[in-house]
Amino acid sequence: MEGNRHTHAHDRHHEGSRAARLRHRLAHLARPHRHEAADKVDAVMETSREGMRTLWISLAVLGATAVVQAVIVALSGSVALLGDTVHNAADALTAVPLGIAFMLGRRAANRRYTYGYGRAEDLAGVLIVVTIAASAAVAAWIAVERLLNPRDITHLWAVSAAALTGCVGNEWVARYRIRTGRKIGSAALVADGLHARTDGFTSLAVLLGAGGAALGVRQADPIVGLLITAAILLVLKDAAREVYRRLMDSVDPALVDTAERTLRGVEGVLDVGQVRLRWIGHALRAEADIVVDARLNVVRAHELAVAAEHALIHAVPRLTAATVHTDPAADVGQDPHAVLAHHGDRPRGVVSGD
């Protein structure tokens, strides 16, 4: 009797544990799955902080460069150096809209902006591209005006030193911004780095113009200025392409390949349908369709979608959220591709989100 009571108690405990696990799974199914939500938020916040740190440091460097150049302008009266100084100051100030965009990107999503405020970076990128275009126009105008009305430059050694300072300072800032922008996935910060590089070209034009003036060639300054304008236009093309692709939700095809390869490697996934990736600020989001065995119950299919989501987030750099749709294979031996073609874009049975 004692053994029977122990057996019955053990069975009731086992059945209770199974019921508890089932309740847990059903509760998990009722609520969208979040993959280490705190870690993802912390990662996004950290990239924003890194971007802000880059902006403040580059702002300080360019500000100091502009101050040094302003002192030399006061001594030499160089109009070319004055234009370069104003240009560098304007470049430093482009950090302001980008900084605002980074701060906005930290705000949580709400019922109006359901994906958050990451797109503010794209708007800042557009503003930076416009600024580069304006810089090219100003540089061309100054060069043409100087070509038509040549002027002598005094204190050439000081002007050359100030121009060299501007060139080195801008190139350092450009490398720093571009490196950080690519690291955190910010197209706007990359564009801002390219803008700093155009200002370095402008400073170089002042330096070469001063060298030509020292040799007695008065037209050297404006001719070099026109050449630098052409270089700025090339940089403008790269920056505009970067921002345009981001606005059009362009991603590196290699990331899509990685996502598809990762999903096919998840045990239980029969095939992979359409995979979509898009940037929201400097974070990626994904949507994917997978085919699973039609004999799976809802809970097991959901678990498989969650496993696929986990695998995606770990495999794709900068991916912070993934939604996985599951399509059941109608027959055990049916071609998974036919299943995907049959279902098309209709609502799927199981959805897993972040």
Give me the percent of the chain exceeding a pLDDT of 90. 20
Q: Where are the domains of the chain?
A: 37-247, 251-352
Per-residue pLDDT reduced to its tens digit, 76-113: 766 667 767 776 776 777 778 878 887 888 788 899 99
Query: Bridge-partner residues for 284, per DSSP?
Result: 279, 319
Task: Flag whether pLDDT at 208 surpasses 50.
Answer: yes
- CA–CA separation, 118 and 103 (whole Å): 10
Q: What is the pTM of this model?
A: 0.67
Q: Which of 248, 279, 239 is nearest to 44 (CA)?
A: 279
Angle CA(171)–CA(175)–CA(181) in degrees, nearest 5? 140
Fold agreement (37-247, 251-352): no
Q: Which of 81-90, 107-116, 308-317, 343-352 has the highest mean pLDDT?
A: 308-317
In this structure, whether the domain defined by 37-247 belongs to CATH 1.10.645.10 is answered with: no
- CATH fold of the domain at 251-352: Alpha-Beta Plaits (3.30.70)
Task: Flag whether pLDDT at 161 surpasses 80.
Answer: yes
Per-residue pLDDT reduced to its tens digit, 1-17: 444 444 444 444 444 44
* pLDDT at 35 (0 to 100): 40
Q: State whether residue 214 is helix, strand or coil.
A: helix
